[in-house]
Amino acid sequence: MTQDELKQEVARAAIQYVVENEIIGVGTGSTANFFIDELAKMKDRIKGAVASSEATAARLRSHGIAVLDLNQVSSMPVYIDGADEITPQGAMIKGGGAALTREKIVASVAKKFVCIADGSKLVDVLGKFPLPVEVVPMAQAVVTQKLAQIGGEPRLRMKDGQPLLTDNGNVIIDMHGLQIADPAAMEAAINNIVGVVTVGLFARQAADVCLLGTPEGVKTLVF
């Protein structure tokens, strides 16, 4: 099976976690896009969705799914999103699609976080995938210096020759070459740097369930 076929499998499997007549939180990225396409088949049985990015909101609307502002929502049963890496304990690196801050905010409102990923995303130690850090632009230089002291190599994410800007108007510094033995401790340390909006470590707010696409079928990990 191709990687896209594995993503489609977990997207279909995630539908069982959608609570009918409720609002659902939806993540960002290629696997989340497959899930949105599946969600469209039952759009008349949900109240609507909260999107973690402008791109996700646009895809939801293209399917006729109502998109709600998070400020209108006090709680929701489930948030479904992909991951760039996930450990057997449920800690994740997210933010390859530059939506880490909104993803973390929407996930914080949901009662359950369901991660959907192909099997290549399961790792024993986080860090081979560059760790994204969303940063207020005026703090880019000082935050880069402080991230370098933590370890690895911080690099400003670029797009078309310019710094990539998030939906929030911030920049992203990707930390390369890390081995993250204690994800929760590193999450706290980076989030405490002045100028950091948030880091793409989801360890203190880890996944509750991971649906993992493998050639042998979808495997369910419960944390």
The closest alpha carbon to 165, from 125, 143, 197, belongs to 197
> E strands within the chain?
23-26, 48-51, 76-81, 85-86, 92-93, 110-118, 131-135, 153-156, 158-159, 162-163, 171-176, 196-199, 201-202, 209-214, 217-222
- Lookup: tokens for 42: 């039952």
Q: How far apart are CA 38 and CA 55, in angstroms?
A: 17
Q: Pairing mode, if any, of strands 201-202 and 196-199? A: unpaired
User: What count of other Cβ atoms lies within 10 Å of the Cβ of residue 152?
Assistant: 17
Q: How far apart are CA 42 and CA 117, in angstroms?
A: 21
Q: How far apart are CA 86 and CA 52, in angstroms?
A: 19
Q: Which of 9, 38, 54, 103 is catalytic?
A: 103
Can 103 be counted among the known catalytic residues? yes
The residues carrying an active-site annotation are 103
